[in-house]
């Protein structure tokens, strides 16, 4: 698999093809199996993603701590805001839905991690539904997302414990933005700009889960990540180019993560987890979990 998004873009442009095509070929070569098998695996992942979205939108799930649950349904059916009925609001609801399923110990696809798993399925399935895009194109988009995620993993990190939430939700936003741009007919170069535009907007994002649980603010941060991805998609599709290449944005994320205080890397020792309310909620919920044997 590629270690540089720029290299993948150059290969795709030289051959007049898409990033998903070069990604699938590289993955087939690395794994020693046919592209058709890899696409079948991505199709199964898409089924799980859609299932998580649908399950979360029902609105009856609660996490064991009861810190989160039911908000995806509110976003889908609650009082109309200025964005009611738009694909943007639907994407936000889908991102919340997947993360509520995760918090309730349901089945999701880690994309790239459980903590950031709501962004990619929300953006891809939401835009596919809004634009009438068929599953084959969504599967291609997942291949592109995988390529972007692999580059992030090689050049920086996908771990909140290592790089903060910029390495989880931030990476997911970059993956979703780039993948969606290809799905919507954008060029490989536009995919690169979308990735850069999304990830530059999440640089320095800390990982500060209350009580160490992947619930607050994780669930809501996925909706924020999806919103950032949508902004990046709009900018890239409009022809806006980011001056710093995606690879260098990713490298910067890695440098920031390496220098980040340990309190802001999934330890629940800083950020929102260390606020008076955050500490109180963590104490109360963890106490209740222990009492209930959870």
Cα distances (angstroms) measured from residue 71 to each of 9, 58, 74, 139, 174: 39, 10, 5, 28, 24
- Between 5-15 and 188-200, two packed helices, what is the crossing angle to 10 degrees? 160
CATH, domain 5-293, list 3.40.390, 1.10.357, 1.10.4100, 2.60.40? 1.10.4100
Non-local (6+) Cβ contacts of 234 within 8 A are none
Cα of 173 vs its chain's centroid, Å: 5
Per-residue pLDDT at 289 = 64
DSSP 207: B
Cα of 213 vs its chain's centroid, Å: 18
Confirm if 261 and 270 have CB atoms less than 8 A apart.
yes
Q: Along the chain (294 residues), what's the average pLDDT of each consecutive run of 10 residues?
A: 96 98 97 97 98 98 91 90 92 98 97 97 98 98 98 98 97 98 98 98 97 93 98 98 98 98 95 96 76 61
- The half-sphere exposure of 162 on its side-chain side, counting CA atoms within 13 A, is 13
pTM recorded for the entire structure: 0.96
Per-residue pLDDT at 291 = 63
* Nearest one of 133, 118, 126, 135 to 39, comparing CA atoms: 135
Taking only Cα atoms into account, the Rg of the chain, rounded to an integer number of angstroms, comes to 18
Per-residue pLDDT at 95 = 98
Domain layout of the chain by residue ranges? 5-293
């Amino acid at each position: 698999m590629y270690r540089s998004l720029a290299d993948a873009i150059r290969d795709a442009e030289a051959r007049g093809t898409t990033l998903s095509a070069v990604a699938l070929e590289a993955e087939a070569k690395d794994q020693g199996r046919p592209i058709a098998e890899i696409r079948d695996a991505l199709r199964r992942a898409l089924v799980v993603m859609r299932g998580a979205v649908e399950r979360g939108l029902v609105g009856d799930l609660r996490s064991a701590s009861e810190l989160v649950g039911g908000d995806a349904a509110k976003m889908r059916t609650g009082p109309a805001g200025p964005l009611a009925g738009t694909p943007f609001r639907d994407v936000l609801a889908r991102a919340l839905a997947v993360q509520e399923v995760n918090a309730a110990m349901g089945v999701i696809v880690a994309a790239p991690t459980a903590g950031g798993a709501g962004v990619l399925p929300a953006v891809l399935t939401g835009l596919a539904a809004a634009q009438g895009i068929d599953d084959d194109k969504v599967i291609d988009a997942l291949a592109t997302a995988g390529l972007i995620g692999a580059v992030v993993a090689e050049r920086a990190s996908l771990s909140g414990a290592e790089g903060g939430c910029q390495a989880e939700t931030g990476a997911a936003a970059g993956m979703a933005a780039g993948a969606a741009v290809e799905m919507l007919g954008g060029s490989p170069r536009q995919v690169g700009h979308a990735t850069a535009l999304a990830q530059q907007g999440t640089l320095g994002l800390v990982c500060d889960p209350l009580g160490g649980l992947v619930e607050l603010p994780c669930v809501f941060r996925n909706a924020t990540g999806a919103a950032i991805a949508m902004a990046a998609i709009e900018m890239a599709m409009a022809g806006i180019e980011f001056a710093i290449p995606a690879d260098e944005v990713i490298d910067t994320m890695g440098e920031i993560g390496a220098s980040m205080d340990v309190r802001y890397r999934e330890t629940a020792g800083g950020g929102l987890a260390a606020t008076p309310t955050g500490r109180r909620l963590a104490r109360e919920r963890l106490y209740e979990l222990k009492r209930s044997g959870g």
